[in-house]
Amino acid sequence: MKYEIWKRLFERDLAYVGSDYLSFSLWDKYIEYEYHLQKCFRELAASRPLSELRTAEELEAAARAKEEFKNQESEGEIHLNDGLTEAKELETYISLREELYKKTKDFDSKIIDFETAIRRPYYHFRPRNVTELENWHNYLDFIEGCDDLNKIRYVLCMEARKNMDVAKNALARATHVFVKKQPEIHFLLLDLENTMEN
């Protein structure tokens, strides 16, 4: 029970910081917590039920796959031995996670130069110098080219992609959390809401 509570707390916090480059310390703590429990990922995966390890989307997909399997089995299309066993499901789960880890490491190697060139990752009223601005523009161009909407959280890009809800969410967070006293941001949010209503 304690495991589930800690896991939920970590996942809630990670939902806020997401894949932000400076969120690594929280991710490190989460990984350290998991390692503390089971030493390594394969041991952890083998010792916990898959229903506890999978995300909500993965649980839904697994339930649909099992339902399809039962339907096909009852229609006589396949044999009992052809179904996925627990061991096969576990191995599939582990291999997917390992592939995700490799992709993440690959992506990190592509963005590390951009991230290390950022001298001021927080908001500040002083303007940035030309080199920093150039780095930001190059970084944003690279991220836009990846076409991963989870990493692109700025309003104009979302509007251009007709993803108005994400744009509104980004502006709402800005007006309530990050730059509350910037009237332009509030006006931009009002503008967006008016556009969405029409």
- The model's pLDDT over 124-180, given as tens digits with 9 standing for 90+, comes to 777 888 998 899 889 888 887 886 656 656 677 677 778 788 888 888 888 887 777
What's the mean per-residue pLDDT of the chain? 77
Q: Which residue did the predictor score with more confidence, 19 or 130?
A: 130
Whole-number Å distance between alpha carbons of 147 and 118:
22
The DSSP call for residue 119 is S
Residue 87 clears pLDDT 90, i.e. is over it:
no
User: Given pLDDT bands bounded at 50, 70 and 90, which one contains residue 113?
Assistant: very high
User: Is residue 150 a contact partner of residue 19, using CB atoms and an 8 Å limit?
Assistant: yes
Please state, in angstroms and as integers, the Cα–Cα distance from residue 37 to each residue in 48, 51, 120, following that order.
11, 18, 36
User: Is residue 134 a contact partner of residue 40, using CB atoms and an 8 Å limit?
Assistant: no
First to last CA, the chain: 48
User: Given pLDDT bands bounded at 50, 70 and 90, which one contains residue 80?
Assistant: very low
Within 8 A by CB and 6+ apart from 182, the residues are 174
Query: Model-level pTM?
Result: 0.56
